[in-house]
Amino acid sequence: MLLSGCIIDEDVIYDGSHSIETISFTMWKNAMAAAHALVYALVWIVTTTNGKIPDVFVSCRFSEDCLLPCAFKPAAEEVIGWTRQEVMVHSFAQGRDQLDQQHTHFTGRTALFTDQIAHGNASLLLKLCNTQDRGRYHCHVATTRGNQESFVIAKVEAPVQSLTLEMTRLSGHEELKCSSRDVYPAPHVSWYTVPPEPLDTLKPITRKMANKNGLYSVESKLRKLPRKDSSTYTYFCTVNSSYDTQTWRASLQERELSSEEGGELTIPCLSPMALHNFTLTWTFTSADESKDILTFNSQTELTSNQWAGQAQVDHDLILSGDGSLRLQNPQNAEHTGTYTCTFSNGRSHHMVHIWVNITATAVERLQAEGSSWLWVFAVLLAALAVLVTVLILCRRKKADRSPASKSAEVATEMHAMSTDERENGIQSENSNQTD
């Protein structure tokens, strides 16, 4: 059976004695179909890329070294040139680097793997990347075989390293502040609450500022919402990198709790999300002094307890997201303050601030009230005693006046009486003479 220069009619193929020809024709037909598919695929690639080699995308970390790949068919007399937007990045010829025309931005920061060039490796090592290194790089290699080229698009990213969510009162009202530093490109910040509130109700204010290295600090503020009934809001702040390579999430809740001295007090703390390989920490703050209570690690299931005998947690409940703290025999002076519970898991942090007020027992309150009334009664008695003393002194002063003063008063009165009598006698004589 001839496959070259012949037209084969499938109708001449029969079973039986022609089984070998049938198999051969089937194999040839499958091979032709595969060849056609390959041709179609090559045509599609050439059409969609306009005959160009697709760009390679590389993500570089800020302040770290980055590898820009470039491979070629090895041959002799290699001449390698790396450029970015017509700017010379690195060049190699005659078996050594040629850096006379290198741009000053890349001085001392580029290198080729010279021992790998003969094997077709022209990759460029870019050292200590910064935000100005992003862009489209062109690798051009000339050998005795001809010219070869490829393109690399380098992105530079300074990922989020930490996220802070805290309550502030600096502007005259309570605000939540979500912040992160030294991020590139500028990240996206979003807020939500549980129970949920519409976005137009939250109205956060976000600022992004770049430093001299091009890294961004982001700060987003949200005014604390008024309570509805007895519900307590949990506030969530989410930060996403511009390249969507990572997401950080932090949440904050504030609660209040009151209890009497003595007995056992449970301070609640529930994680709003399922966590794995997390750390739970409890701290206590009173009079601007913070103390560690305990730390639990879910991987080792070990607890470091600085308040042993006073506070404890249930390991089984913690693994299911319940990190509530049991406080034994709380006292007013020692245990009134703010308790902070924190679930931390890499890029997720959940924090609860609980203000705990330990009050005296009913008997102690009655005793205190009785003592207060005794003090009031004592003060009143003292005031009354002072008043009585003043009155007695005044009366004694009047009673102790001297006899001379009394005689003077009597003489004065008698003189006044004699004067009146003389005046009356003169008036009588005058009236008689007139008659």
The DSSP-derived string for 93-152 is: ETTEE--TT--GGGTTSEEE-GGGGGGTB--EEEPS--GGG-EEEEEEEEETTEEEEEEE
- Average the pLDDT over 49-62 and give the result: 79
Q: Are residues 259 and 351 in the same domain?
A: yes
Q: Are residues 15 and 111 in the same domain?
A: no
Give, in order, the Cα–Cα distances in Å from 282 to each of 230, 305, 344: 25, 10, 12
pLDDT bracket for residue 399 (50, 70, 90)? low
Q: Using CA atoms in the order 113, 118, 121, 122, what is the torsion angle rounded to 10 degrees?
A: 70
pLDDT for res 420: 52
- Average the pLDDT over 354-361 and give the result: 90
CATH number, domain containing residue 62: 2.60.40.10
The DSSP-derived string for 228-257 is: -TT---EEEEEEE-TTSS-EEEEEEEEEEE
Q: Are residues 309 and 335 in the same domain?
A: yes
Assigned domain for 383 exists = no
Question: How confident is the model over 224-235, as pLDDT tens digits?
Answer: 998 776 678 999
* 116 against 170, higher pLDDT: 116
Q: Are residues 180 and 232 in the same domain?
A: yes
The DSSP-derived string for 416-430 is: HHHHHHHHHHHHHHH
Which domain covers residue 225, as residue numbers? 161-245
Q: Is 273 helix (H, G, I), strand (E, B) or coil?
A: coil
- Average the pLDDT over 286-296 and give the result: 93
Query: Could you give the CA distance from residue 357 to residue 258 in angstroms, rounded to a whole number?
Result: 5
> Can you tell me which residue has the tokens 């409940």?
317
Cβ-Cβ contacts under 8 Å for 351 (sequence gap 6 or more): 165, 250, 251, 252, 253, 340, 341, 342, 343
* 87 against 5, higher pLDDT: 87
pLDDT for res 362: 56
Query: Could you give the CA distance from residue 231 to residue 309 in angstroms, rounded to a whole number?
Result: 33
* Cβ neighbour number for residue 400 with a 10 Å cutoff: 7
Residues in the chain: 435
Cβ-Cβ contacts under 8 Å for 192 (sequence gap 6 or more): 199, 202, 236, 238
Nearest one of 338, 254, 256, 325 to 290, comparing CA atoms: 338
Q: Are residues 74 and 119 in the same domain?
A: yes
Question: How confident is the model over 61-71, as pLDDT tens digits?
Answer: 999 999 999 99
Of the three residues 157, 181, 213, the one that is the final residue of a domain is: 157
Nearest one of 188, 253, 183, 191 to 221, comparing CA atoms: 191
pLDDT for res 227: 79
pLDDT bracket for residue 36 (50, 70, 90)? very low
Q: What sign does the CA torsion over 370, 373, 379, 384 have?
A: negative
β-strand partners of 152: 56, 137
Of the three residues 99, 133, 157, the one that is the final residue of a domain is: 157
Query: Could you give the CA distance from residue 43 to residue 51 in angstroms, rounded to a whole number?
Result: 10
The number of CA neighbours under 13 Å toward the Cβ of 58 is 24
- Does residue 247 carry a pLDDT above 70? yes
Assigned domain for 240 exists = yes
Assigned domain for 149 exists = yes
Q: Are residues 341 and 280 in the same domain?
A: yes
β 124-126/66-68 pair status: antiparallel
pLDDT for res 73: 95
Question: How confident is the model over 401-415, as pLDDT tens digits?
Answer: 555 555 555 455 555
Token pair in block for residue 201:
């109700």
Assigned domain for 385 exists = no
Of the three residues 367, 386, 414, the one that is the final residue of a domain is: 367
Q: Are residues 120 and 204 in the same domain?
A: no
Assigned domain for 378 exists = no
Q: Are residues 105 and 169 in the same domain?
A: no
Least confident of 11-15, 55-59, 370-374: 11-15
Q: Are residues 129 and 230 in the same domain?
A: no
Assigned domain for 400 exists = no
Assigned domain for 110 exists = yes
- Our count of domains for the chain comes to 4
Assigned domain for 397 exists = no
Cβ-Cβ contacts under 8 Å for 91 (sequence gap 6 or more): 79, 80, 81, 82, 97, 98, 99, 101, 102
Q: Are residues 197 and 148 in the same domain?
A: no
Q: Are residues 222 and 295 in the same domain?
A: no
pLDDT bracket for residue 87 (50, 70, 90)? very high
Give, in order, the Cα–Cα distances in Å from 182 to each of 132, 187, 218: 15, 10, 9
Q: Are residues 254 and 362 in the same domain?
A: yes
